[in-house]
């Protein structure tokens, strides 16, 4: 029983979708995505689809 290696259950701060966070077990899927230019206020983690949308939205907004 090694709880440290279990993915952490999280719920998306935006859509409520449940997902697994693997940051404690040696590598989360979110680390393969570019870091968010700006942290999302009031949110912990976002689900894969919301995180990708947020990254794209911030990248689009930062272009001239």
Where does this chain bind Zn ion (CB under 5 A)? 12, 14-15, 17, 47, 50
> Shortest Cβ distance from residue 6 to Zn ion (Å)?
21
Distance between CA 5 and CA 64 in Å, rounded?
43
Closer residue to Zn ion, CB minimum distance, 30 or 47: 47
Phi and psi at 21, nearest 5°, equal -105, 125
> Shortest Cβ distance from residue 24 to Zn ion (Å)?
20
Closer residue to Zn ion, CB minimum distance, 5 or 49: 49
Nearest CA to 30 out of 15, 47, 17 is that of 47
3-state SS assignment for residue 17:
coil
Closer residue to Zn ion, CB minimum distance, 12 or 30: 12
């Amino acid at each position: 029983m090694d709880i440290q290696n279990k993915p952490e259950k999280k719920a998306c701060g935006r859509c409520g979708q449940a997902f697994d966070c693997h940051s404690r077990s040696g590598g989360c899927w979110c680390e393969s995505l570019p870091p968010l230019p700006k942290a999302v206020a009031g949110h912990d983690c976002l689900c894969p689809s919301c995180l990708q949308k947020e990254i794209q939205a911030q990248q689009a907004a930062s272009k001239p």
